[in-house]
Amino acid sequence: MSVRSLRWDGDALLLLDQRELPHREVWLRIQDWQGVAEAIREMAVRGAPAIGIAAAYGMALADGDWDAAREGLASTRPTAVNLAWALDRISALPTKSPSSILAEAETIEQEDRELNQRIGSFGADLVPRSANVLTICNTGSLATGGHGTALGIIRTAHAQGKVAKVWSCETRPRLQGLRLTAWELMQDGIAFASIVDSAAASLMRAGEVDIVIVGADRIAANGDTANKIGTYMLAVLARFHQVPFIVAAPTSTLDPAIADGSDIPIEEREGRELTEIGGESVAPENCPVFNPAFDMTPGDLITAIVTENGVFLAPYAFAKAPLALP
């Protein structure tokens, strides 16, 4: 099963509001680029590929205001390079009009759906039989054009009968794992248990994790990978417990212009994400908070990086990110 979380409707972008899931399926109808920018910033749409696709549709709503729209959309979330990549594709169009931009946005979305199937097939070959797979955040249909990256591999491996169980990290503080990955896994009938992020260590020590598969927001030329906060912790644990650690992402997530992860901008979000649960404050008033949304996993902790072009092993040396499927 593959949910579509965004859809074009005549003169508007329809977005499934991921802040409301899993309890309510609310569709936002957005008719200007500023609305798309706000939806990305506020995480109504999230996940690196989905952010890029939404931004491309946002440009189709810019009504000739291309430069302001490009700048406004690009500044919404700094870590996921798919955003700049999609906007670059729109900028590179020989003629810009609402219809040519819309066609390109639809192509980007369609390509993403197709290449996720390829990531799924390549990655499933790395999954052992009867595997207990640990993942973090949401990298599924909601985060992409469909199928998913890390979750796409899990889906494909599950269809091949290889997945015994998924351990799904809840993913503090926005709970993408507990709310969104759990929702997708339940719809697919894949056996799983949600865990608090800090349960990963003892599960690995107990031999309950055979492979870790995660997504990415930006991958530097040397394989250093920015992904949801907590990913680096999982990579360190995986190395200590000798569990394979796999990163799955489309080539649009590669940023070969950045030599290593130290130059990847890490988004910091407001403290309220930590101090409030369900809109209720749970911390002392004015509690100081540091809330980075992502962390950086060094490439040498990553067993393999799976893209639509195949499985890459360390040491990584990504020279260029092709714009389209080969």
Q: Given the DSSP bridges, would you call strands 245-248 and 304-307 parallel, antiparallel or unpaired?
A: parallel
Interaction of residue 13 with ligand MRU, rule CB under 6 A: no
Site for ligand MRU contains 135 (CB under 6 A): no
Q: What is the rounded distance in angstroms from the CA atom of residue 312 to the CA atom of residue 244?
A: 14
185 lies in the binding site for ligand MRU (CB under 6 A): no
Q: Which stretch binds ligand MRU (CB under 6 A): 62-70, 83-91, 104-112, 136-144?
A: 136-144
Binding mask 81-110 for ligand MRU (x = CB under 6 A): ------------------------------
Q: How far apart are CA 44 and CA 37, in angstroms?
A: 10
| Given 2, 132, 144, 303, the residue binding ligand MRU (CB under 6 A) | 144
User: Under the criterion CB under 6 A, does residue 47 sit at the interface with ligand MRU?
Assistant: yes
- Tell me the H-state helices in the chain: 33-41, 48-60, 66-74, 82-91, 98-124, 150-159, 182-188, 200-205, 231-240, 272-275
Query: Smallest distance, Å, CB 266 to ligand MRU?
Result: 11
Burial of 165 (0-12, 13-18, 19+ CB in 10 A): middle
* Active-site annotation holds for 217: yes
Among 13, 37, 49, 243, binds ligand MRU (CB under 6 A): 49
Our finding on whether 48 is near ligand MRU (CB under 6 A) is yes
Q: Does 58 bind ligand MRU (CB under 6 A)?
A: no
For the chain, first and last CA: distance in Å?
26
Are 212 and 246 in contact, with CB atoms under 8 Å apart? Answer: yes
- The CB-of-98 to ligand MRU minimum distance in angstroms stands at 27
| Annotated catalytic residue within 88, 112, 125, 217 | 217
Whole-angstrom distance, CA of residue 326 vs CA of residue 311: 15
The residue whose Cβ lies closest to ligand MRU is 215
Q: What sign does the dihedral 63-64-65-66 (CA atoms) show?
A: positive
Whether the CA torsion 289, 139, 236, 252 is positive or negative: it is: negative
Which residue bears the tokens 């003629």? Answer: 95
> Least distance to ligand MRU from the beta carbon of 305, Å?
13
Interface residue with ligand MRU, options 16, 44, 60, 137 (CB under 6 A): 137
CB of 150 to ligand MRU, least distance (A): 7
**By rule CB under 6 A, what string of x and - marks binding of each residue 292-311 to ligand MRU?**
-x------------------
Given candidates 215, 230, 244, 261, which one binds ligand MRU under the rule CB under 6 A?
215
Sole window of 45-53, 193-201, 236-244, 255-263 interacting with ligand MRU (rule: CB under 6 A): 45-53
CA–centroid distance for 95 within its chain: 30
Q: Determine the Cα–Cα distance for residues 117 and 107; give it in Å rounded to an integer.
A: 16
HSE-CB of 264 using CA atoms within 13 angstroms: 31
Positions in the binding site for ligand MRU (CB under 6 A): 46-49, 80, 137, 139, 143-144, 149, 176, 215-217, 227-228, 293
Q: Any idea which residues carry the catalytic annotation? A: 217
